[in-house]
Amino acid sequence: MEPTLERPVRQKWPPVTATIIIGSVALFVLDALLSPAGDRPSSLGPIFQWIALYGPFVQEGQYWRVLTCVFAHGGPLHLIFNMVVAYQLGMPLERVIGSRRFLLLSLATAVGSSSLALLFNFQVATVGASGMILGYGGAMLVTATREFRRGVVIWLAQVAIISMLPGVSWAGHLGGFLFGVPMGLALRLGPRVYARAAPMLLAIAAAVAYITAHPERFGGFSGWN
């Protein structure tokens, strides 16, 4: 069954993707300007320290980090790579499904990414939009045409290899992808199904993030971290 979607909106800069790209670049520049002289390029400045995902701080109630971490990046190459892919995948996808649906997709995959990062890397600061972007790939894997799907599969395979490198959050990548696939399936089944399924999947992602942020309340699985 082919997905029943809205007619593509001819926007040069779809608002959700534009916010992600412009916001990420602006915060990166601002964080660099406010960082003390002599800091390493890969170190987190004052803004990123406040918005990065870090289990102990989320556990203390700083839940905004589950979402704001997508706007923080660990260096220029990290930022450029993520923003280029956000442009290549996010913009056409937002144009096809509409900004409201794309916003729900972005929220669910961002929170889903953070939930697995908290589960497996609780004590490690995690930044970047790549988990959320992997969610776009997961959604497109089940909604794209066969020809375009081949390109998505190749890209996903490349990211899987990169995810094994030191310093890369494989758990965050996997979490975004795992929530992106069911969001894509809901899109494929049509607007009515998506309108019901998307908020439910977002709620599930938020619940998982809350549980993984408080391992002491749910069986104490902190030994995984």
Closest-CA residue to 115 (of 66, 158, 50, 70): 66
**Cβ-contact 189, 130 below 8 angstroms:** no
- Helices 191-213 and 170-188 sit at what angle, rounded to 10 degrees? 160
Q: How is residue 207 written in tokens?
A: 């619940």
- In the block, tokens 């894509």 appear at 184
Sign of torsion over alpha carbons 144, 147, 153, 155 = negative
Cβ-Cβ contacts under 8 Å for 196 (sequence gap 6 or more): none
Q: Which residues are catalytic?
A: 130, 173
126 DSSP assignment: B
Task: Assess contact for 73 and 127: CB atoms under 8 A.
Answer: yes
Q: Where are the beta strands (DSSP E) in the chain?
A: none
Residue with tokens 């089940």: 142
